[in-house]
Amino acid sequence: MAKRFTSTEKWQDPWFCRLSNTDKLFWIYILDNCNHAGIWQVNMMLVRTYFGNDFELPDFKSRIVKLSREKWFIPKFIEFQYGTLDRINRAHKSVIQILEKEGAYKVLGRGLNGRKDKDTDTEKDTDMDKDTDKEYVSGAY
């Protein structure tokens, strides 16, 4: 079973506070059940088992990126769990491989840069906004 860091500050985050209790549980569920690269294999049948048939997804537009119908990516997961990913760091290699395979590295932006690339982060961030083809989740799915 994977062990993860969790932020106790989420309970003071206005975004999190506005969520219903069910939506808070769903958010924690996704964070606990995503892989070590922050990608969750969508299983709405299982979600409805835990949260009921009337469950509707809140607006997670700023928190979740829909990579496909079956996979969602949580960009802040990487920053929180690892900081900046470095290809030289052996612990980060499998995370980087998964992100590249799933197309999530485009969304992540600066999280894949090494220290030498920090000067060009701003340029990459604006370019990323233009060419990203990933859809942000909003509303029911």
Taking residue 32's Cβ as centre, other Cβ atoms within 10 Å add up to 12
Stretch (H or E) spanning 41: strand 39-41
- The residue among 121 and 33 whose pLDDT is bigger is 33
DSSP-assigned letter for residue 137: P
- In the chain, where are the structural domains located? 8-83
- Residue 129 pLDDT exceeds 60: no
Taking residue 141's Cβ as centre, other Cβ atoms within 10 Å add up to 14
Residue of 5, 87, 82, 6 whose CA lies nearest to 37: 82
Q: pLDDT digits over 55-73, tens only?
A: 566 678 789 999 998 999 9
* Predicted pLDDT of residue 123: 42
Q: What is the mean pLDDT of residues 10-31?
A: 91
pLDDT band at 96 (very low <50, low <70, confident <90, very high): very high
Tell me the two tokens of residue 31.
């964070």
Tell me the two tokens of residue 39.
């990608």
